[in-house]
Amino acid sequence: MLHMDTRRREFLESLLTTPGPSGYEADSQRVWLDYVSEFADEVRTDDYGNAVAKVEGGDTTVALAGHGDEIGFIVRDFTDDGFVKLGRIGGSDKTVSRGQHVTIHTADGPVSGVVGQTAIHLRDSDDDSVPEISEQHVDVGAVDGDEVESLVDRGDPVTFVQTLSELENGRLAARGMDNRIGIWAAAEGLRRAAESDADATVYAVSTVQEEVGVQGAKMVGFDLAPDVAIAADVTHATDAPGSPGKAATGVELGEGPVVARGSANHPVAVDALRETSDAEDIDIQLQATGIRTGTDADAFYTSRGGIPSVNVGLPNRYMHTPVEVIDPDDLDALADLLAGFAVRAAEQAPFSVDV
């Protein structure tokens, strides 16, 4: 079933190697737009950079959405001796940042740096505490405050230096799987739905600023007001050592995309996804989300008068670290699931709870 030919793989790698922290997504959004422009009937962006691609079909409207932003850091301040002080963009993890290579993205181009870590020989052996991001610093090699301020500005975004590795069994490790896989799947779902002549008008969407409060989805949901929206995002694979039992979901890498149930997830749309998986012979997993999904689905489903929405997740190990791990077979199946759902959406509509 693997459809990830050279062009699809190049697209995924381009997304993963193009930085796009929340609020600074333009470069990665451009990569996405260039790809969907090859087959969409229309592409557009709004004032904040949300990107939408459209394939014209029937009266039923379907939005296949991922969020294009990633977590990161931001230049908060400088020290007199030439170091950069950091703030967080989204849910950056203080336990994995020290000792990492980073890039500061300035108006004049990238500036290389490292997040300092006091040598083990010099640290208090009785103190295992991890300093907050606000207490950590980036060393760009500057000799004093004047030099560092001539190189970078407050508000410049910061990302880990990207490393994309192929592990055994074709599995991939990189930063930013959350959520470049979602916008890859949305674009591919649109392309595959178009090839199947879906009897619906299908949108693929790459939203901005999900990691800082699902903000872009609020804008797009109001603007498009589709009949149904699928938010493609990562979800925790809890099959690796160290996952606490109380957080176990049963989700495993390589076992297929994950359809969420509960809270935002519309039961009729959930049933339609399950029927699609059966009809297309696509293995899926189920996940309980009794309070919130933590994804763009939470914004879509309360937009306007309420948009039937579902979160479909891709199993991901080590979320919000520079070494997120996914299985490309899961990702390819996710694109097939989105396309199959779009093809059948007109038959399933209207998406309404029977009371």
Please count the residues of the chain. 355
Cβ-contact 279, 324 below 8 angstroms: no
For the annotated binding site, the residues are 67, 178, 211, 233, 320
Question: Which of 101, 127, 160 delimits the end of a domain?
Answer: 160
Crossing angle between the packed helical segments 177-195 and 6-16, to the nearest 10 degrees: 150
- Sheet with strand 201-207: strands edge to edge: 42-45, 51-55, 201-207, 61-67, 228-236, 309-316, 258-261, 285-288
Check residues 5 and 334 and name the one with the higher pLDDT.
Answer: 334
Q: Is the dihedral of CA 40, 43, 48, 49 positive or negative?
A: positive
Could you tell me what percent of the chain has a pLDDT over 70?
Answer: 99
Residue 94 backbone phi and psi in degrees, to 5: -65, -20
The reply to whether 118 and 224 lie within a common domain is no
Q: Evaluate if residue 141 carries a pLDDT over 60.
A: yes
User: Which two tokens mark 286?
Assistant: 């189920």
* pLDDT confidence of residue 184: 98
Rounded mean pLDDT of the chain?
Answer: 96
Final residue of a structural domain among 160, 184, 215: 160
List, for residues 25-60, the tens digit of each pLDDT value.
999 999 999 999 999 999 999 999 999 999 999 999
Domain that holds residue 234: 6-70+175-348
CB 21 within 8 A of CB 209: no
Q: Taking the CA atoms of the chain, what radius of gyration do you get in angstroms? A: 21
Statement: residue 88 has pLDDT above 60: yes
Residue 166 lies in a domain: no
Number of domains present in the structure of the chain: 2
Instruction: Output the pLDDT for position 1.
Output: 40
**Is residue 169 a part of any domain in this protein?**
no
At residue 128 the predicted structure's pLDDT band, cuts being 50, 70 and 90, is confident
Q: Is the pLDDT of residue 86 over 50?
A: yes
| Average pLDDT score over residue span 90-99 | 96
Beta bridge mates, 173: 165, 325
pLDDT tens digit sequence for 156-172: 999 999 999 999 999 99
| pLDDT per residue as tens digits for the range 66-76 | 999 999 999 99
Would residue 324 count as lying in a domain? yes
Q: Which two tokens stand for residue 287?
A: 């996940």
Q: Are residues 258 and 214 in the same domain?
A: yes
**Residue that is last in its domain, among 129, 160, 191:** 160
Is pLDDT above 70 for 3?
A: no
Residue 4's pLDDT band (cuts 50, 70, 90): confident
Catalytic residue among 188, 210, 255, 324: 210
Question: What CATH number is attached to the domain comprising 202?
Answer: 3.40.630.10
- What's the CA gap between 329 and 4, in Å, rounded? 9
Cα atoms found within 13 Å of the Cα of residue 199, Cβ hemisphere only: 6
- What is the rounded CA–CA span in Å between residue 315 and residue 125? 37
| Same domain membership, residue 145 and residue 245 | no
User: Does the structure show a pLDDT above 80 at 193?
Assistant: yes
| CB contact at 8 A, 315 and 237 | yes
Annotated binding site for Zn(2+): 67, 178, 211, 233, 320
**Beta carbons of 262 and 274 less than 8 angstroms apart:** no
Residue 226 pLDDT > 50: yes
Q: Are residues 52 and 102 in the same domain?
A: no
User: Average of pLDDT values for 218-233?
Assistant: 98
Active site residue 210: yes
CATH number at residue 87: 2.40.30.40
pLDDT tens digit sequence for 247-305: 899 999 999 999 999 999 999 999 999 999 999 999 999 999 999 999 999 999 999 99
